[in-house]
Amino acid sequence: MTTVNQKIVLAEMPQGAVGPEHFSLEVEDLGPLEEGQVRIAVDYISIDAFIRTTLRDGSFHQSVGVGGTIGALGAGHVIDTGSEQFHVGDAVKGPVGAQTVATVPAQYLETVDESLAPLSAHLGALGLTTGLTAWVGVRDIGRPQPGETFVVSAAAGAVGSIAGQIARMDGARVIGIAGGPAKAAHLVDELGFDAAIDYKNDDVAARLRELAPDGVNVYFDNVGGELLDVVLDQMAERGRIVICGAISQYERTGDVRGPSLYLRLAERQCRMEGFAVFHFPESYAPATAELAGWLADGSIVMTEQVVTGIERFPEALETMFTGGNVGKLLVHIERQDEG
């Protein structure tokens, strides 16, 4: 039985851009389990933008102090159990942290049905912070109608790519905004978006006017900052802006940029509504069922970018904040019996 754990701890609180220099890898021997705990050999760790927001005091999510293990969602298999709810060999997911062997109270874990989709997909297309977030943002908040124009930022990323594909299935015309020509091509060629804007090279305002001459009906915002103002300026009457995230602002401490063109909301009778996926537990079951069906019949595509080795967790997190990922970014922990 594995009793040695390798974990990523915070070595220094990042003040701006996060990088490998802010973390260290520690090795520890694990003691016996307490009643109610479950021990998991972690196979996949989900790289999520919220992890960056925990690396400061007063985070909305739980803050991590220097020396603390970095919090993260993940999936793996039970190797020891102090709970009748779980058995050795069960596939589970939950808040495992950035480590190879996690010891987690049973109430925080969820069984994973690997016959529905491979384990990694339960963090991606079927994961709380990816597929379910996209589903809630589109279906519960933005509600695009057939023929409406739906714009999504960080569109080639995990949440954005699924949000755009759901909106398209709901009959909207979907425009994705992403960084670089390769990502823009990916949106149209592989994900079936109607159009893409490369915000690193295009004049976004001009391209948006061209592609959406009647205005934007739904803006699914993952980025915030300057881009939010550009789209606010081109909202159609009775448009909806879904504040899913603001990744452009997570590395700024103290001077988060808010929208300066918010009066467009009043002028055009628009609504801007933020959400956190865990406020919508009633949507988890219908969202999971629908996403699993789409994944199985190929109606949605979820690209995965997998980095192997716990020691590469810091590099993977940095990749997300420098736009190096396409689709769902995961860290894979190889078991000794794997190639």
Pick 109 or 197: Cβ nearer ligand NAP: 197
Q: Which is nearer to ligand NAP, 97 or 224 (CB)?
A: 224
Q: Does position 323 bind ligand NAP by CB under 6 A?
A: yes
Query: What DSSP string describes 277-323?
Result: GGG-GGGHHHHHHHHHHHHHHTSS---EEEEESGGGHHHHHHHHHTT
Q: Is 165 in the site for ligand NAP (CB under 6 A)?
A: no
Residue pair 74/99 in contact by the 8 Å Cβ criterion: no
If the CB atoms of residues 142 and 179 are measured against ligand NAP, the closer one turns out to be: 179
Looking at 247, 316, 317, 333, which residue binds ligand NAP (CB under 6 A)?
247
**Interface of this chain with ligand NAP, residues 197 to 226, rule: CB under 6 A:** 222-223
**205, amino acid identity:** A
Regarding 120 and contact with ligand NAP (CB under 6 A), the answer is no
78-82 long-range contacts (CB < 8 A, ≥24 apart) are 78/38, 78/39, 78/40, 79/1, 79/2, 79/39, 79/40, 79/41, 80/1, 80/33, 80/38, 80/39, 81/33, 81/38, 81/39, 81/106, 82/33, 82/34, 82/35, 82/36, 82/37, 82/38, 82/106
Written as six digits, the tokens of 86 are 């779980």
- By CB under 6 A, is residue 179 in contact with ligand NAP? yes
Rule CB under 6 A: say whether 156 interacts with ligand NAP: yes
- Please report how close the Cβ of residue 98 comes to ligand NAP at its closest, in angstroms: 15
Assess 284 for contact with ligand NAP (CB under 6 A). no
Q: Is position 272 an interface residue for ligand NAP (rule: CB under 6 A)?
A: no
The residue of the chain with the least Cβ separation from ligand NAP equals 157
Q: State the residues that interact with ligand NAP by CB under 6 A.
A: 48-50, 129, 133, 154, 156-160, 178-179, 183, 222-223, 244-248, 275-277, 320-321, 323, 325, 329
